[in-house]
Amino acid sequence: MVGSATADAFDLPDLVAASSSFTPCFNSHYARAMADCRAWLVSREALGAQTEAILVNADMERLCAMCYPSAPYDRFRAVCDFVCILVVVDEVCDTQSGVEAYTTGQSFLNALREPNWDDGSKLARITREFRASLGNWIDTDGGKRFINVCESYIACVVEEANLRERGEVLSVEAYENLRRENSAVRPCASIMEFSLGISLPNHVFANEHFMAVYWSVIDMVCWANDVYSYAVEYQYGLEGNNVVTVLMSERNIDLQAASDHVGEYYESLVKKHWAAREVLRGQTFGSAELDSQVQLYVEELAHWTIGNIMWSFEIRRYFGDEAKKVKESRRVVVKAKEQRDMITELV
């Protein structure tokens, strides 16, 4: 049974302070890419009549600007398109059954795998158009890995829908494994190679020190996102897929204690990240050029940590019009549950 909030408000952990070792950056192409990306998705009616409102509320292009600051316009625009497609998938699947989410996911994946695949859906069309912007990169090691990661993402989105149908809350360990995949952070990390104009060979991702850096970033983003999004997810009955709920359920603790634990764990991840980065600097992957590309990727990936946090307080998605106030006070009000509007215009 999905756990419930036991208080009408709680204090967020100070993740801004915990992330002070990371430097905020911003891509100068944000305004142009944002306008172009939104115009494209609105013209395609990606989420029906709600498309523009949802995109404005999320402002994923701003998140991209903070997390892919080095990308030139064309690559940055493609990244924005992809991340906004993930919003489409997320918005639709959040209200679907496991069977329905599987169908949605296959529409996305098939269009990503095959350049001419079409089931007549809006999702397939925008995914196909995005795929074309990747050019030959899709056939590189990085591109193939990107598709594999997207497949894992969709599989776990479907599992999330099944869990939601059953009202089941996972253990912390099981949830962490699921969350790493269904959060969409890994697909975003994978397309970062494209944004940098590189394709890392597979043996880089077999290096334990590289992966320690990689997973520390993925987990920091996931845990931060969960505590920031908890109140709004609770409001719409989606809190089962949130580490705050999982902690309350497994450890029989209240909402504030769960939030505090997120902060403590996040701080431990920051320490693990920098320790792994230090070891990685002494590693070689076979050539000076590849070593340089690995360091470039790691430096860019790290922008996701502070970028995700700063973005969360600059949009309405999690805290509405109170975002600035919440950032200062760290106090979040948990509102009563209400019915969420369903997206019914995907196909």
Q: Give 212-242 pLDDT, tens digit per residue.
A: 999 999 999 999 999 999 999 999 998 999 9
Decide: helix, strand or coil at residue 41.
helix
Full 3-state SS string of 123-183: HHHHHHHHHHHCHHHHHCHHHHHHHHHHHHHHHHHHHHHHHHHHCCCCCHHHHHHHHHHHC
Q: Is the pLDDT of residue 300 over 50?
A: yes
Q: Give 83-118 pLDDT, tens digit per residue.
A: 999 999 999 998 899 999 999 999 999 999 999 999
Read off the tokens for 7: 């208080």
Residue 209 to residues 204, 274, 323, Cα–Cα distance (Å)? 10, 11, 36
**Residue 243 and residue 225 in contact, taking contact as beta carbons nearer than 8 Å:** no
Q: What is the mean pLDDT of the chain?
A: 95
Q: Give 176-217 pLDDT, tens digit per residue.
A: 999 999 999 999 999 999 999 999 999 999 999 999 999 999
Residue 320: closest CA among 242, 229, 253, 246: 229
**Residue 225 and residue 189 in contact, taking contact as beta carbons nearer than 8 Å:** no
Per-residue confidence (pLDDT) for residue 7, from 0 to 100 = 76
Element (H, E) at 9: strand 9-11
Per-residue confidence (pLDDT) for residue 2, from 0 to 100 = 40
Decide: helix, strand or coil at residue 191.
coil
Residue 88 to residues 14, 48, 243, Cα–Cα distance (Å)? 30, 10, 23
Per-residue confidence (pLDDT) for residue 344, from 0 to 100 = 44
One CATH from 1.10.600.10, 2.40.128.110, 3.30.43.10, 3.40.50.150 for 9-333:
1.10.600.10
Other C-beta atoms lying within 10 Å of the C-beta of residue 251: 12
In this structure, what is the dihedral angle of CA atoms 96, 97, 102, 105, given to the nearest 10 degrees?
Answer: 20
Q: What average pLDDT score do residues 334-343 get?
A: 74
Q: Give 77-90 pLDDT, tens digit per residue.
A: 999 999 999 999 99
Per-residue confidence (pLDDT) for residue 142, from 0 to 100 = 99
Q: Is the pLDDT of residue 43 over 60?
A: yes
| pLDDT bucket at 338, cuts 50 / 70 / 90 | confident
In percent, how much of the chain has pLDDT > 90? 93
305: left (phi over 0), alpha (psi -120 to 50) or beta: alpha
Read off the tokens for 302: 């790290």
Per-residue confidence (pLDDT) for residue 3, from 0 to 100 = 43
Per-residue confidence (pLDDT) for residue 6, from 0 to 100 = 52
Residue 11: closest CA among 306, 337, 329: 329
pTM: 0.95
Per-residue confidence (pLDDT) for residue 90, from 0 to 100 = 94
